[in-house]
Amino acid sequence: MIITKKEFKENRWKFVIFLLILLITEIIVVYFYPAFKEMQPDLNSKMIGMPKFLKELAQKQLSIITGYPAYLGSQWFEKNLKQFAVIFAILLAMGCLAKEAENKTLELLLSKPISRTRVILEKFITTCAGMFFITLIPSMIIYPLSLFWGRDINGLTMIQLILGNIVTFSLAFVILSYTFFFSVLFNDQVKTAVGGIILTLVFWLFSLFKLTKNLSIFTHCNSMPLFLKGEMTWNEVYLLFSVGILFMLLSIYAFNRKDI
């Protein structure tokens, strides 16, 4: 737990800032539900001049938001939380090992009686745990917040919110894992971030085309069935976690072979 403690201490401000950003966003999402509901019927008329495919896409997305749970699934889990989770995952993982290599403290760390596998696992687990809690806390606060503002929360349970968070976290887990892998390969935080961003963009592009859609991690991260039909997409979640674990194993392999 030596590295875990150090990592948590070093990243504590990042965790606090990311948590604050998510809390503020969440408050906005819950607060503006009545305004969104009022605007929803008029949105079609406001899309004049918009390209046809975008109009169709927006209409398709808006049509499924039939109630408050669907609104939360769409606007919180699928939009804001997902987008922030992608950014935070890259920002958290980019510094894990590359920062130590840049600062030349990795040499000091590895001169101590601790295995490379343990160093990497403790670093990764701390980052993942941090990521999980900064996404989970706002997702959990949604319930009391919704009750406070008198939102129609019937049918939405705390379990659904936790499961919705697991779906989003599975995406963040994959991004954390491959950015972490880049962090092992490059001794430079910028290169690591660029690697993470490029691969994320590639996955995002894959999600846009029918042919490559199934290869994208974004396609498999979908919490909407949970909020529309109460169905949890466990297979997709397992798939994403498996991809993440694969990248983690690759990181361990690469780190054990690396010259410091």
Burial of 143 (0-12, 13-18, 19+ CB in 10 A): middle
Give whichever of 6 and 191 is closer to other proteins, judged by the CB atom.
6
Residue 13 touching other proteins (CB under 8 A): no
Q: What does the DSSP 8-state code read for residue 40?
A: G
Closest residue by Cα to residue 173 from 106, 206, 210, 221: 221
Give whichever of 84 and 255 is closer to other proteins, judged by the CB atom.
255
Q: 3-state class of 103 per DSSP? A: coil
Residue 2 touching other proteins (CB under 8 A): yes
Give whichever of 114 and 205 is closer to other proteins, judged by the CB atom.
114
Residues 219-258 that bind other proteins (CB under 8 A): 257
CA gyration radius, the chain: 20
CB count within 10 Å of CB 117 equals: 13
Residue 17 touching other proteins (CB under 8 A): no
Closest approach of other proteins to the CB of residue 2, in Å:
5
Residue 12 touching other proteins (CB under 8 A): no
The tokens for 211 are 């042919």
Are 33 and 147 in contact by the 8 Å Cβ rule? The answer is no
> Could you give the count of Cα atoms lying within 13 Å of 76 in the half-sphere of its Cβ?
35
Residue 188 touching other proteins (CB under 8 A): no
Of the candidates 59, 63, 83, 115, which one interacts with other proteins according to CB under 8 A? 115
Q: 3-state class of 38 per DSSP? A: helix
CA distance to 3, 168, 222, per residue, from 163 (Å) = 30, 9, 11
Q: Residues in contact with other proteins, total (CB under 8 A)?
A: 17
Residue 113 touching other proteins (CB under 8 A): yes
Closest approach of other proteins to the CB of residue 9, in Å:
9
Are 84 and 18 in contact by the 8 Å Cβ rule? The answer is yes
Give whichever of 44 and 256 is closer to other proteins, judged by the CB atom.
256
Q: What does the DSSP 8-state code read for residue 75?
A: I
Closest approach of other proteins to the CB of residue 101, in Å:
11
Closest approach of other proteins to the CB of residue 114, in Å:
6
Residue 46 touching other proteins (CB under 8 A): no
Residue 99 touching other proteins (CB under 8 A): no
Of the candidates 43, 108, 162, 190, which one interacts with other proteins according to CB under 8 A? 108
Positions touching other proteins (CB under 8 A) are: 2, 6, 10, 103-105, 107-108, 110-115, 257, 259-260
